Structure 1
Amino acid sequence: MTWREGTVVEPGRSWHGAAEWWVDCDGERMRALAYPDLVGEIAVGARVLLSSTAVDRDLGTGGYLFVVAPLDRLPPPRTGPGHMVKARYTPQQTMVLGVDEQESPHHHTLCDAQSVEGMPCVVADLHSALPAIVAAARHRSPELTIAYIHTDTAALPLAFSRTAASLVDRGHIETITAGQSFGGKYEAVNVHTALLTAKHVVGADLAIIVQGPGNIGTGTPWGFSGTAVGEAINAINALDGTAIATLRVSGADARPRHRGISHHSLTAYTKVALTPALVPTTREAIDDETRASIEKSYPLLEATGRLTLTKVTGIRKALEQSPVPLRTMGRGLDEDYASFAFAGAGGVLAADIVLAKKNSNTE
């Protein structure tokens, strides 16, 4: 870990739970990110201790230094209900009120919860899939209540995601942070309790399970954080949900292992997931070359006997009208349309399942 000391010189953007600041570090102007819930409020002129590890290694953190603490004063102590510690045994561990712990008003509800009763649950590898799934689902049915479950295999603070903050501000999602991640409207011990919270506390029509920004991959067959989507499929089925496994695809990624269907999806869904899932697919507006590179891997998915490929349409217009910018690995909708289309297909399929169930209940 590497450290720097800096002086705050100018505010940048801010969103729920996070604030950008420009800082002077030995005469160099740099961008830093502070989480006010952890470090207190920062002001121009403040001296701050910064973590520069990711920037020094040129990692994908958005180019941020991170404010560890103000140097001139201690942040005010925070008190409140809750005994669940997240980011445990790190210097910035934080105590939250778990949605199902004894002090929570939802404790008794979750004491009895054992099933999500068929609720469609969409999983995706990359955080960039989240707005595409939400946009497509809400385009199909604007009145849907959607719970976003932020897992702990990438960014632990939900506040790091401007995408999630924007979707919350628009009333498009309710947030649940699972495992070691924190900062959601509801704090859950794991993905299982997060799913039960989505169904019985949020009252969600569907849930989306996606890690935050900053996934890791080593270029090895098993060394990537996206294996968690396979584990999520197993959790969904353990709780009687309807698992929807979106494919990570690309027609533009320079890395061969991510062209067509990424090896991340193939490994997670054929080797880690041991229970059934629907796999939404689409041909809509996808060029012939990209479509062929994707479809050549379909037999690997079907050979499991657990994965049901399901064709979906009606995605393009929804993605074009997304209220949140669509970007993945620096590429936008027109540069890598297939990536967003296959994510959006999960939202359409989930919405169709919800609508079909509601229609059957009214007949």
Structure 2
Amino acid sequence: MSAMPVCQCLAKFKPKSVEAWNTMDWSQGCVRNKELECQKGDGFIKLDGLKVPDATDSWVNKTMNLKECRAKCLQNCSCMAYTNLDIRGRGSGCAIWFGDLIDIRQVPIGGQTLYVRLHASEIEAKAKPKIRIAVITTVTIAVVLGMLMAIYYVRKSKAKRAERMEKCLQNDHENDKGKKEDLELPLFEFTAIANATSNFSINNKLGEGGYGPVYKGKLVDGQEIAVKRLSRSSRQGLNEFKNEMILLNKLQHRNLVKLLGCCIERDEKMLIYEYMPNGSLDSFIFNGTKGKMLDWSRHFNIISGIARGLLYLHQDSRLRIIHRDLKSSNVLLDDHMNPKISDFGLARMFLADQTEGDTSRVVGT
């Protein structure tokens, strides 16, 4: 004797009586997970591969298409399902079922598509994964496009930066020997430096040399800076500017002033350094009042710091540098009175095995 077939509920349906279902009593059938609300709007779920319901309480129209069939079913709150009259799926004719859907089952071959009425929220629940996939796809595409645009603008910015650097360094000078330098030096915007120095206010001016004036400034993040602004009329200053930019970009030591970046914009050429609040050493040595602040331990600390900086330049750095303009005005003091050698405009770079060199002009101190 063959086993009794096992009944199953359609998607979005559940047993009317779970207790009866568990005892294999399927006579009460299945009900929707959520009751219909015809006045507020229902929808339809598409189920494939089915034997259509018993035709006892049905209605057919041979001239309607599937879209018209759906509209017809929606107009009648007792309409529970619809499909094509033509079971070959060519879209012709309309078949509508009213009341309970009796004798529906999944068939392996020759099944038909049936559109079953459900509460609108059940339809939305089914649509959510598709919406989620669409949203994820859209966001992913947007992120990828954003990354590509960011890469494009970074490369474009680097190319512009390289062009500006090359333009600044296009003339050969004593240290570069005609070579192009690969400077990974931060570039500051002119407006940022102008704002930091109150538009290069005379009140922020720290001093002036052969290259041009130096100003104190404060960036938007609160960092204090010193801005060396090249005078447009200074030809010698241009060579010193290039020399200092190339050398300080490659040198890092606690007793050398730190170059934070440069600004090459609007025919302006500026070097931006860390700010030294105590100024230069000569302002203490040649000032009777301030000179009293330099006791022997501070004198010794300053001398030792300068010596460490020179040892680094002459021997320990990957470049061999001769400063050529070391004097008290070119030794700056930080807030703890630690010395830092500055002003490398006249410095010379030696080869690893070079012990002497020639110069075409008299320079330095």
Asked if these proteins are the same fold (TM beyond 0.5), I'd say no
Higher relative contact order (Cα pairs below 8 Å, separated by 6+ residues)? 1
TM category (shorter chain) comes to under 0.3
Larger-Rg structure: 2
